[in-house]
Structure formats: C-alpha cells, structure tokens
Amino acid sequence: MVIINYIVIGTDCSGKTSLVEMLSDITEFKVVRGSSFEHSKCTQDELFNKFLEFTKMDSVVFDRFTYCNEVYSLMYDDFAMLSDDQRRFIEQEMKGKAIVIYLYADDEILEQRFNYRGDDYVSLEKLKYAKKKYEEALHKIKDLEVVKFDTGKMTTKEIVEQILLNY
C-alpha cells in the first residue's frame, strides 16, 4: 500500500505539531488541520461535509481528524459531533490511502509539557480525560491501519524515520 495521506492524532502536548511539521517538510505533503475547535462550531451535516472534502485530498499530513472530533466534542456542549455512521463512512472513503499515526506519552510527561506550554482550550484534567477517550476511539477504527508511538520514549525524528521506513 502506498500511503498518500498521514492522519496524526493524539492529545494536546503529545507532539503532533512537531511531527506534522517534520513529516510535511520531508515528504513535501501539505498540512491540513483536520479537526479543530473552529471546525466543530457548525452543524453536524456541515462538519460531515467538511470531512468528506478532506477524503478527496491527496499528499496531505492531517493534523487531527474525525477521531479528535469524537474525543473533544464530548467535552464541549457547543461542538458538533459526527455520528458513528458518518465517521465510519469517512474512514471507508480514506481506506487504502491513509494511515493513522497516534502519538501518546505517559501522564507525567504530558503534564510536564502542559505546564511548560499551557493551552487556551484544554485543562490538564481534560487532557487526561482525552487520553482515555482516544484509546476508546482507536478501538473503533476498522478500515485504516493505526500505528502508535510513545513520544516520551522516541524523538520526533526517530518517529518520522520509522514512518517513512515502514509506511
């Protein structure tokens, strides 16, 4: 399988931005913010259509995706959330042309990063809750390969090298 899209997911402070930037620099793939607080401030149908647009893109490193919407929309009442059927449909549309890269770290490392960086939207408690919800969301992924990397044990460069070597 030739990967033409990378979907990078994980909690805040897991190293997504660093990985997305390095992967994009090396592959020359475009970076697309695949899910965000801004994307979720719409109707469910509008959100679904936005993700459908993403499925038509090639040579992209997605910084977050539908799985992030599932995790974070549960925490915020005013965010649109895709249904399981919509999420499965989008995943099927990406089948054969994307891989999901899940970044994580131990709670202590995430807390250190969070305390150093801070965040405008997510508290430390919500970050820990999100980590648990990501694990649940990952189990629902059926049509895409998921690879997991512990950013507390590997550098961004090492992770990118593994991705390019194996995918």
Q: Is residue 83 part of a domain?
A: yes
63 to 8, 48, 77, 85: CA distances (angstroms): 5, 17, 23, 22
Q: H or E element: which one contains 146?
A: strand 145-150
153 to 8, 82, 109, 117: CA distances (angstroms): 18, 33, 10, 19
Query: So what's the pLDDT on residue 34?
Result: 84
Q: Is residue 165 part of a domain?
A: no
Residue range(s) defining the domain that contains residue 152: 5-159
Q: Is residue 166 part of a domain?
A: no
Distance CA 81, CA 83 (A): 6
Dihedral sign for Cα atoms in the order 70, 76, 79, 83: positive
pLDDT in tens, the chain (167 residues): 566 899 999 998 999 999 999 999 999 999 999 876 666 778 889 999 999 999 999 999 999 999 888 888 777 777 888 999 999 999 999 999 999 999 999 989 988 998 887 666 667 788 888 899 999 999 999 999 999 999 999 999 999 999 999 98
In the chain, the number of structural domains is: 1
Q: Is residue 31 part of a domain?
A: yes
Query: So what's the pLDDT on residue 85?
Result: 95
Residues in the chain: 167
Residue closest to 10 by CA, chosen among 160, 130, 153, 107 = 130
Q: Is residue 167 part of a domain?
A: no
Query: So what's the pLDDT on residue 114?
Result: 86
Distance CA 87, CA 142 (A): 11
Query: So what's the pLDDT on residue 36?
Result: 64
83 contacts 47 by C-beta, under 8 angstroms: no
Q: What is the CATH number of the domain that holds 93?
A: 3.40.50.300
4 contacts 97 by C-beta, under 8 angstroms: yes
